[in-house]
Amino acid sequence: MMVAGARPQFVKLAPVFKALNASGHFLIKIVHTGQHYDHLLSGIFFSELNIPDPDYNLGVGSASQAVQIAEILLKLSPIIQAENPDLLIVFGDTNSTAAAALCAAIHKIPVTHIEAGLREFDKNIPEEINKLVTDSVSTLYFCPTNTGVQNLLKAGITEHVYHTGDVGMDLLFNLGQEFEASKDLLDRMGISAGNYIFATCHRAANTDNIENLTEILRAFAAAPRPVVFPVHPRTYKVMVQYNLLDAIPQCKLILTDPFGFTDTQILIKNAAMVLTDSGGVIKEAYFHQVPSIIIDKQTEWLEILEEGWSVIAGPSFENISRYLHNFEIPEHHGMSLGDGKASEKIAQLIYEYLQSGQ
């Protein structure tokens, strides 16, 4: 049973589903928690990435972290009891991840955590709580990076820990002809390759703090190139509620609805630079060899920082502006997030685990 509920998880579920399915060993059930429900945050990824319709949709919708987790527990529990899966797979660090992992563990179903071991070392971050909960109840740990493995070792977790590489990379390695459409998209947006900045902002630390969000939007608006900014509904609501756009010059800001997977990759790949607080976008920029400035105070993707493809500016107008004007692009790119085969390795390891009858 695979459980997902939020946009970044569909991107991870797609290649893992494909690999499990191709191996011919598994009967797979997909559960959508309903954490994300807007077409542009959910349905578009299912159709674009050829994910079959979920077998179940819990329809939990938006709520606080506590309520969302409680609702998923309540609604997933009878499904797990009825289906009695051999294994449950969760992805990343959203509320859907932690809730589903906890629910499966309560029902004594082994939990597989894909993107295990990552830490931001700050329990004020909702995702950090989800990471800690999920890793503490999991049985199989698939780490995208060596940092993930080391963090688990430090926490005393040593069994069934594997460094597989990042499943998000698998999709990117397989992208190809989709990029033929890229000129049309850039033309439609009135931008040209290498001459704009791609920006996203949705983490709670930025959207729930008006001072931070204002600093970030001011920095976007003052950037030396046009900024394409697909706005997450969460961010949009706050921008409207506090009239934040009225307060900043918008001449170079291109505000849009969220994009699907391929259009996002086209826009990242052709950008001069990326500004983001999204872990997924940081990784994707790295893959496309586009430098990124992190508008958050920390990241779990230390390998990318170490190679110099990313820097942490935090939600600071001054820091973001400084890096926008001075960013030395590294000469080396280590492909340190994997070789595009993480999902295949995971499918094989799951098969071996289940065959071993542990």
Residue 126 near ligand UD1 by CB under 6 A: yes
What is the spatial distance between Cα 46 and Cα 57, in angstroms, rounded to a whole number? Answer: 13
On whether the CB atoms of residues 138 and 174 are closer than 8 A, the answer is no
- The window from 34-42, 150-158, 169-177, 296-304 that contacts ligand UD1 (CB under 6 A) reads 34-42
Q: How far apart are CB 356 and ligand UD1 at their closest, in Å?
A: 33
DSSP designation for 111: E
Active site residues: 202
Residue 256 near ligand UD1 by CB under 6 A: no
Residues touching ligand UD1, count (CB under 6 A): 21
Among 36, 113, 119, 163, binds ligand UD1 (CB under 6 A): 36
Burial of 124 (0-12, 13-18, 19+ CB in 10 A): exposed
Residue 120 near ligand UD1 by CB under 6 A: no
- Closest residue by Cα to residue 98 from 124, 120, 76, 121: 76
| ∠ Cα 125 68 45 (to 5°) | 85
Subset of residues 264 to 303 that bind ligand UD1, contact rule: CB under 6 A: 278
What is the spatial distance between Cα 203 and Cα 99, in angstroms, rounded to a whole number? Answer: 19
120 is written with which tokens? Answer: 């931001």
Residue 276 CA, chain-centre distance (Å), reads 12
Q: How far apart are CB 46 and ligand UD1 at their closest, in Å?
A: 13
Question: In 3-state terms, the chain is what percent helix, strand and coil (to 5)?
Answer: 50, 10, 40
- The window from 29-37, 72-80, 135-143, 145-153 that contacts ligand UD1 (CB under 6 A) reads 29-37
What is the spatial distance between Cα 315 and Cα 220, in angstroms, rounded to a whole number? Answer: 11
- The window from 6-14, 115-123, 244-252, 296-304 that contacts ligand UD1 (CB under 6 A) reads 6-14
Among 33, 35, 147, 200, binds ligand UD1 (CB under 6 A): 35
DSSP designation for 26: -
- The window from 25-33, 48-56, 93-101, 140-148 that contacts ligand UD1 (CB under 6 A) reads 93-101
Binding site for ligand UD1 (CB under 6 A): 6-8, 35-38, 41, 62, 65, 93-95, 126-127, 202, 232-234, 237, 278
